[in-house]
A and B are shown apart, each in its own frame.
Chain A
Amino acid sequence: MAATSFNMASTIFSTLGRTPVKQRFRNRIVSSVSGQQEAQVEEEKVVKPMTKPRPVEPQINVESKNMGREYGGQWLSSVTRHVRIYAAYIDPETWAFDQTQMDKLTLLLDPTDEFVWTEDTTYKVYSKFQELVDHYEGADLTEYTLRLIGSDVEHYIRKLLYDGEIQYNMNARVLNFSMGKPRVGFNYKGDEPV
């Protein structure tokens, strides 16, 4: 993965605070696991159901750290097709993978471009991610916890797909409809087909 990502470096954009870029949404959100305002978020939920993502500041001169064999040669991650979560800071331009900053989680959303994303839908996924990260505050930082978060984000993406908010990208390199084949005159809400 590292090699391919590296080549794609010029098309990486960090989403937040930017205008959406049409061709690629290899986006990332970086947010602190130890979010301080959990109680506040709980209160906010009642009025405003969407959690506001709290991305970390973009850093400069990031170097890959602690990736060597002497550190175990591994990293903490949850990788599924559309959601890749790493417990590290990853530089969006150079893909430098700083494992000393394990207090941050980096989300790579849909690296294979299976879906067509808009700024709106990416924001929904990010806020879902932030909500889950806040929810799991205090849990052990293990692969199991990351996988729980990653799976919930995947389920959320599937929900968005079934609700018709995102579509399959017909120009994707691999077109195998991994979240179910598109169907005509069908929706999951139980309404009459249109």
Chain B
Amino acid sequence: MQGRLSAWLVKHGLIHRSLGFDYQGIETLQIKPEDWHSIAVILYIYGYNYLRSQCAYDVAPGGLLASVYHLTRIEYGVDQPEEVCIKVFSPRKNPRIPSVFWVWKGVDFQERESFDMLGISYDNHPRLKRILMPESWIGWPLRKDYIAPNFYEIQDAH
């Protein structure tokens, strides 16, 4: 089960792992964090000029953290653009993934949100700081091992 992009990457000797296809038939690839920046540049040159979304999630308690990129190739006169989904996994301790801000500028706030929620630190991101939580917040709220502090909230009122 190999998609078109995977075959193309194999042809050019680029290391990746095919994760199959999602429910819409979009090819999913896993790429190592250390290869991600160079492969991102290659994919941009290949034609994926639009980053549709970037998100991140915690794979399992105590497991890896994943950063997911949905890339689209936008051209004139195409109604079914080529799409691909890239997943980059990094260890929970010291998670570092190269930022693709300098390839697709739109990833700026989305990587900041991933940093804020899961603590993935994106190397070379120009202003990586918390975007949703207050800057003095401690902990990464969307990690599975996060314990919310017992703050007194207005919801406690009946």
A92 at the interface (CB under 8 A from B): no
User: Are the C-beta atoms of B134 and A178 separated by less than 8 Å?
Assistant: no
**Minimum C-beta distance from B153 to chain A (A):** 8
B156 at the interface (CB under 8 A from A): yes
A98 at the interface (CB under 8 A from B): no
If A150-B152, A151-B152, A154-B152 touch, does A144 touch B134 (CB 8 Å cutoff)?
yes
A180 at the interface (CB under 8 A from B): yes
User: Are the C-beta atoms of A147 and B158 separated by less than 8 Å?
Assistant: no
A142 at the interface (CB under 8 A from B): yes
Interface size class of B (residues with CB under 8 A): 10 to 19
User: Are the C-beta atoms of B152 and A180 separated by less than 8 Å?
Assistant: no
User: Are the C-beta atoms of A140 and B136 separated by less than 8 Å?
Assistant: yes
**Minimum C-beta distance from B137 to chain A (A):** 6
Bound together, the chains give a CA A147 to CA B157 distance in angstroms of 17
Instruction: Describe B's contact surface by its main secondary structure.
Output: loop
Chain A interfacial residues counted at CB < 8 A: 22
In the complex, chain B residues whose CB is within 8 Å of the CB of A18: none
**Minimum C-beta distance from A186 to chain B (A):** 14
**Minimum C-beta distance from A154 to chain B (A):** 4
User: Are the C-beta atoms of B158 and A143 separated by less than 8 Å?
Assistant: no
In the complex, chain A residues whose CB is within 8 Å of the CB of B149: 147-148, 151
If A148-B149, A151-B149, A151-B150 touch, does A179 touch B157 (CB 8 Å cutoff)?
yes
In the complex, chain B residues whose CB is within 8 Å of the CB of A176: 157
In the complex, chain A residues whose CB is within 8 Å of the CB of B134: 143-144
Bound together, the chains give a CA A179 to CA B157 distance in angstroms of 5
B76 at the interface (CB under 8 A from A): no
In the complex, chain A residues whose CB is within 8 Å of the CB of B150: 151-152, 155
User: Are the C-beta atoms of A178 and B136 separated by less than 8 Å?
Assistant: no
Give the nearest-CB partner of B137 in chain A.
A144
Bound together, the chains give a CA A37 to CA B76 distance in angstroms of 72
Which of A80, A144, A179, A180 is in CB contact (< 8 Å) with B138? A144
What are the interface flags for B123-158 relative to A under an 8 Å C-beta threshold, 1 for contact and 0 otherwise? 000000000001011100000000001111010111
In the complex, chain A residues whose CB is within 8 Å of the CB of B136: 140, 142-145
**Minimum C-beta distance from B132 to chain A (A):** 14
The winner among B138, B152, B157, B158 for most chain A CB atoms within 10 A is B152
Interface residues of A in 115-164 (CB under 8 A from B): 140, 142-145, 147-148, 150-152, 154-155, 158
A6 at the interface (CB under 8 A from B): no
Q: Which residues of B contact A (CB under 8 A)?
A: 134, 136-138, 149-152, 154, 156-158
A-B contact pairs, 19 of them (CB 8 A): A80-B152, A81-B154, A140-B136, A143-B136, A144-B138, A145-B136, A147-B149, A147-B151, A148-B149, A150-B152, A151-B149, A155-B152, A158-B156, A176-B157, A177-B157, A177-B158, A178-B157, A179-B156, A181-B158
